[in-house]
Amino acid sequence: MNLKFWKKDGTTATAEKTKKKSATREWSDAIIFAVVAATIIRTFFIEAYTIPTPSMEKSLLVGDFLFVSKMNYGPRTPMTPLAFPFAHHSILGMKAYSEAVQWDYHRLPGFQDIKNGDVVVFNYPVDVDPSSGLPRPVDKRENYIKRCIAIPGDTISVVKGEAYINGKLTPIQVKGQTDYTVETDGTDLNRKTLMEMGVAGDKIANNAYDLTMTPENADKVKQFASVRNVQKFIYPDTITDPQIYPQNPAYKWNVDKFGPLWVPKKGATLKLTKENIALYRPCIAFYEKNELKEQPDGFYINGKKSDSYTFKMNYYFMMGDNRHNSLDSRFWGFVPEDHIVGKALFIWMSWDSEGSFFSKIRWSRLFKSIH
């Protein structure tokens, strides 16, 4: 028998137990829902990103705010799930995540594969926690943005500052820039004109300048009445930069002379030699977590002698469009597929910190797609 005890106002004892949520509880529920929804959107769909350095100029400018799609290449599932909402790797100078729980790398299906020339956001492969000096978890490493020059299976070379993929020239982007030496008849170049063109640089002699500019601006500067010669600056082949990957004296490379270098592809097997082990040791030992030892009688991987290695992941070679002012794969090597964050889609805001009050916003760049 179901007995109901009616009150004078018509309510039941059961209904009386159902209490209305307090305003504090309602606000708490709303905030929790918003945080969860925003986290899901940032993780699996789209995320905002800011350009902090000039390594992609003039394609992308410092102060550009981008939307980065996680869907194009497939969203990566969280690898370090215990973290403060909306924080990347630190908050108020403290670590914003816990490594108590670590999940393996997985990626959901995407709309496309990474193509040559795509502008890609990824985790900086050699990022470390400054407090410990140890590598951060993959998904908590610093976010970088560069152009993918070479995809898995490609062979990249840089010859006299020009990138070649599988022997074919890959010209610098129209808005990309590099250094030029400009000779004049002794007349000073108009600084205001150069600034309006977005050209930066210094005078290095009475009749010479070192200017960083796009090929388009280089052609314009050639037309100046006082200019006698405009020559792209190329580091001589005889100069070896010890900071260039793989930071090994056997490879006498610099930013304008690099490779040839084969980019590892998932499932491809590489013959290991004393000549190439320095190039691929990070992939085998660090990114794919194998124990690699080089003994007098050969190589040992996880305790077993082997003269070859089959790669478990795809790798990519990234370069900045500002060729002489970019910390990219020429310095730290390959980007593994588990470091890929997403594809840069369009600029939703562009802020010029050096602009005047009325020109802080670069209106012409708003909602501009990224190529």
Q: Indicate the domain borders of the chain.
A: 38-154+263-268+311-369, 178-232
> Rounded to whole angstroms, how far apart are CA atoms 244 and 256?
11
Cα Rg for the chain, rounded, in angstroms?
27
Backbone angles phi, psi at 144, to 5 degrees: -125, 160
Per-residue pLDDT reduced to its tens digit, 267-324:
999 999 999 999 999 999 999 999 999 999 999 999 999 999 999 999 999 999 999 9
Dihedral, CA of residue 126, residue 333, residue 150 and residue 256, to nearest 10: 130
Q: Which pLDDT band, with edges at 50, 70 and 90, does 35 fall under?
A: confident
> Rounded to whole angstroms, how far apart are CA atoms 351 and 347?
11
Note if the pTM is more than 0.85: yes
Strand partners, 322: 177
> Rounded to whole angstroms, how far apart are CA atoms 122 and 95?
20
Query: What integer pLDDT is reported at residue 39 of this predicted model?
Result: 81
Per-residue pLDDT reduced to its tens digit, 340-354:
999 999 999 999 888
CATH number of this structure's domain 178-232: 3.30.70.80
Strand partners, 306: 299
pLDDT at 170 over 70: yes
Average pLDDT, the chain: 91
Contact 347, 368 (CB under 8 A): yes
Domain covering 38-154+263-268+311-369, topology: Umud Fragment, subunit A (2.10.109)
